Amino acid sequence: MLHQTMRWYGPHDTVSLMDIRQAGCAGVVNALHQIPVGEIWTIDEIEKRKNLIEAAGMTWTVIESLPVHEDIKKRNGKYELYIDNYKQSLKNVAACGLKVVTYNFMPILDWLRTDVAYELADKSKALYFEFDKFMVFDIYLLQRPGAENEYTAEELAIAKNKFEQMTEHEKQYVFKNCLLGLPGSDESFTPQQILAALKTYEGITKDQLKQNLFAFLREVVPVAEANGLQMAIHPDDPPYSVLGLPRIVSTQQDLLDIVNCIDSPANGLCFCTGSLGARPDNDVVGMIDQLGDKIHFLHLRNTKRFSNGNFFEADHLDGDTDMYEVMKKIVLLMRKRNVSIPMRPDHGHQMLDDLHKSTYPGYSAIGRLKGLAELRGLELGVSKSLP
């Protein structure tokens, strides 16, 4: 069976450890958000967090995330120091008994949405990415230099029309959502921070960013392997370029390139069906056949796509990805590998009592509990139906 978990943002999370345990989870997925990106995770801080989780009757074996410093992604500045720090952090988490290290290589921003409270027909709320509004943010609100050169004439006309129709409140709402900080942080980016960070990526192509990732992996994967860890890279979200930044973890070929760049059991994937499923050219079910042996961690969520690049977080068993077929492939994969892959539901809807609470967008308790219950039932049904 899958090792069922939920993401927990630490002692200040409004969703408590007992909330997660009551949802039926055996463990939590966690990170030390209080440690600045690039600094070493000490054994003392890791053990403090681990003891807190174990005191609540659960385990902590999956890190999400051990963030990669921007200097490493650009391979400039103090990148050598930050890689050395990363290696030491890997040794420390392994010494504390953790097993999977999730990370991403998205420049500057983590996941991005234009609406973090999109109201569905049943009045629950979901995360939503609307391409037209994102163009308004990019061109008119952020005023990124050269942004207008990266859209077609038709797209520019759509963005202009959308901008003129939006109220001041709508503009500020989109502006705020697109500048949300990193997961686990209550602080948003400022426009000045984003524009300054974008300038540092000038001239870095998709191929160069990919080569920088490969260089990073050639340094850290041997350390992970020697210490019994599995590295799991998370796909881009959205899985295409935003703000003119290259994206290199968006397609099946991207994932194949990554797992093939260094042959090691430690070099693998966080297979996120929601991020990958936001692209219509990704065959999510087929990708499990191609990449199954490299899947170290699962995010099982679903998105509903529209023809113009828009998508929202659907119910876990709804959306454009056939979750039944995904689960069947995963069950067979675990039998073949004789492992229990850690899994968590993701980006649950804000619903019921949680509509009146303040939580990090996508991480309220009840919507994720609903998703976990659906996935758990689906796994049981699939397992019993297979020989």
Instruction: Report the pLDDT averaged over residues 335-362.
Output: 95
Domains (range + CATH), the chain? 3-108+205-385 (3.20.20.150), 115-195 (no CATH)
Spatial CB neighbours of 338, under 8 Å, sequence gap ≥ 6: none
* pLDDT band with cut points at 50, 70 and 90 for residue 190: confident
Specify whether 346 is catalytic: yes
Specify whether 299 is catalytic: yes
For residue 57, the one-letter residue type is G
Distance CA 12, CA 213 (A): 32
Specify whether 356 is catalytic: no
Q: pTM of the predicted model, to two decimals?
A: 0.96
- In this structure, the number of other CB atoms found within 10 A of the CB of residue 87 comes to 17
Among candidate residues 3, 234, 296, 349, the one labeled active-site is 234
pLDDT reported for residue 179: 87
pLDDT reported for residue 69: 97
Spatial CB neighbours of 140, under 8 Å, sequence gap ≥ 6: 159, 163, 171
pLDDT reported for residue 186: 55
Specify whether 296 is catalytic: no
Distance CA 71, CA 57 (A): 38
Instruction: Report the pLDDT averaged over residues 176-195.
Output: 76
Specify whether 347 is catalytic: yes
Among candidate residues 347, 349, 354, 360, the one labeled active-site is 347
Specify whether 96 is catalytic: no
Among candidate residues 3, 69, 296, 299, the one labeled active-site is 299
Among candidate residues 236, 254, 346, 354, the one labeled active-site is 346
Among candidate residues 25, 178, 270, 272, the one labeled active-site is 272
* % of the chain residues with pLDDT over 90: 93
